[in-house]
Structure 1
């Protein structure tokens, strides 16, 4: 791995970065340990968006024996765990059962974008990783935050603190530093992001790459009809609220990004801070009112779905064409999702640089050779 990284530096595909080099050395040590038949020490790479965490994870995983390892985005990992938990309802020790199953297939689990945002996942992780580490599974993960900052200000965060202590104990934690955000080296050119663009401009952009579209009232996704604007077999257009408001899930975006080469979204709003105290209710209501009423905003649910849409398009190399109310940097001005939205902004900038070549009205999707977060 280290040899490949050095070759990319020499060829100019990557820029020299002392923080990345330390991470490469740490990852190479894990590969060397595995080659000697030893269990690699778990590793937790963290740093701001655009510092190359996903790139390094991909390079590392390419050198792992696939019979012993798996690489997943953290959201997809948690989706699998939730499915298994649902199938184990009534079992006395479901976490131990899940950990045993995973350990029988994988000695190394690589997770990209480790992030905790709700009490349910926080509680699942508390038992899950204790059980996985007991089964001698190694964790290699990336995150935008160090373990001590995970689930910060979250509901009943004290119940997650033992998991933080466990991560600090089991993992070497390596900071990728406050260096260059490589995704934003070319941010002046925003070919797929039309600030205050019209619907006709968005459709013209889509048709210039993918050919003529036809108007259609809806598309069937996950056995449900979702209103849309127009489409052909390569691109589909939506109004933002139709796609990111109401009963939408990550699985909807996964299916769309797999089915189409590009998704066009009209009228992405500025997610300004508009207090919504009506959202504060239910379990531990008093705590929430004291702790969360000052950060919840009316469009946070829509913003959370937009983050999920960007993530799935990014991971599946599906182009995202957007008209928006304001600049990428100014899209999210509320409070609750400020941290995860930084990754969303960084990815939107990088996606503007994805190259395209038109051959038979097919846009060839690829990622530039720049580090990812």
Structure 2
């Protein structure tokens, strides 16, 4: 597991592979991106481009395509929306984490968004786990949520509360988060206090929230879960 989210990560990866190649070590690696797309749109990316060419010169690039989506199998084994909030719903998220990461050791990484740092305290195997407070009770915006959608294929979100007029900022951030995940076809596994249509019944933007509730229902469907991830512009 190695997340390339800033130029320091990129340069460490470059030095590692160059040393392996110099020692004539055979390298077998997997990635969710073609080498040309590694650290795409990253700050100071030109410094990393020579390594990409070095990698392509030393490795045979193979696309592994399968008619069967094994991640989908693991997603549809159980529900992806758990309500209400209680010990059972949190235990269900723990089981979802174990199922989707296949027991991979959780890691901490930092995403760079317009020069700012967005910490991801728990991620593994393309899955990131957050609390509602981490993503919606702090001053984050669409660019932050797009960065999450660009770097992970599944988000596990715990503790979505019912919201009222006093929580209009949190509700607006939650709408932006779901929009980013939905447009990129990122999979969402969540625990919430209620069903989507009951999360924000009144307050500024509650009428518009109905679209978010509709999207949340769609994101639970097998058709949505089977859709391929979409690459979004993060700039």
Report the TM range for the smaller structure's normalisation: 0.5 to 0.7
TM alignment of 1:352-367, pairs within 5 A: 352-355=220-223, 365-366=227-228
Q: Which piece of structure 1 moves more, 195-204 or 307-316?
A: 195-204
Contact 1:228 1:242 in 2 (8 A): no
1:272-306 Cα offsets, whole Å, 9 max, x none, are: 3xxxxxxxxxxxxxxxxxxxxxxxx2211111011
Contact 1:266 1:324 in 2 (8 A): yes
1:208 matches 2:99: yes
Q: CA deviation at 1:231?
A: 1.1
- Give me the TM-score of the superposition, normalised by structure 2: 0.56
1:250 matches 2:142: yes
Equivalent of 2:116 in 224, 228, 232: 224
Distance 1:343 1:213, change over 3 A: farther
Partner of 1:264: 156
- Give me the TM-score of the superposition, normalised by structure 1: 0.36
- Listed as ranges, the gaps of 5+ residues in structure 2 are 1-77, 230-235
Partner of 2:167: 299
Partner of 1:30: none
Q: Which piece of structure 1 moves more, 331-340 or 206-215?
A: 206-215
Distance 1:224 1:251, change over 3 A: same
Distance 1:228 1:201, change over 3 A: farther
Contact 1:227 1:238 in 2 (8 A): no
Distance 1:228 1:306, change over 3 A: same
Distance 1:198 1:213 in 2: 21
Distance 1:200 1:230 in 2: 16
Q: CA deviation at 1:316?
A: 0.5
Q: CA deviation at 1:226?
A: 3.5
Per the alignment, in what secondary structure is the counterpart of residue 265 of structure 1? strand
- Listed as ranges, the gaps of 5+ residues in structure 1 are 1-189, 273-296, 357-362, 368-373
Contact 1:228 1:239 in 2 (8 A): no
Distance 1:221 1:364 in 2: 29
Distance 1:331 1:231, change over 3 A: same
Distance 2:143 2:219 in 1: 21
Contact 1:236 1:262 in 2 (8 A): yes
Distance 2:161 2:120 in 1: 18
Distance 1:205 1:247 in 2: 28
Distance 1:231 1:333, change over 3 A: same
Q: CA deviation at 1:192?
A: 1.1
TM alignment of 1:302-341, pairs within 5 A: 302-341=170-209
Distance 1:192 1:220 in 2: 25
Contact 2:108 2:123 in 1 (8 A): no
Contact 1:355 1:365 in 2 (8 A): yes
TM alignment of 1:281-292, pairs within 5 A: none
Q: CA deviation at 1:258?
A: 1.5
Number of residue equivalences: 149
Q: CA deviation at 1:205?
A: 1.1
CA RMSD of aligned residues (A): 2.6
Distance 1:298 1:218, change over 3 A: farther
Q: CA deviation at 1:366?
A: 4.2
1:241 matches 2:129: no
Q: CA deviation at 1:244?
A: 1.1
Q: CA deviation at 1:326?
A: 1.4
Contact 2:106 2:124 in 1 (8 A): no
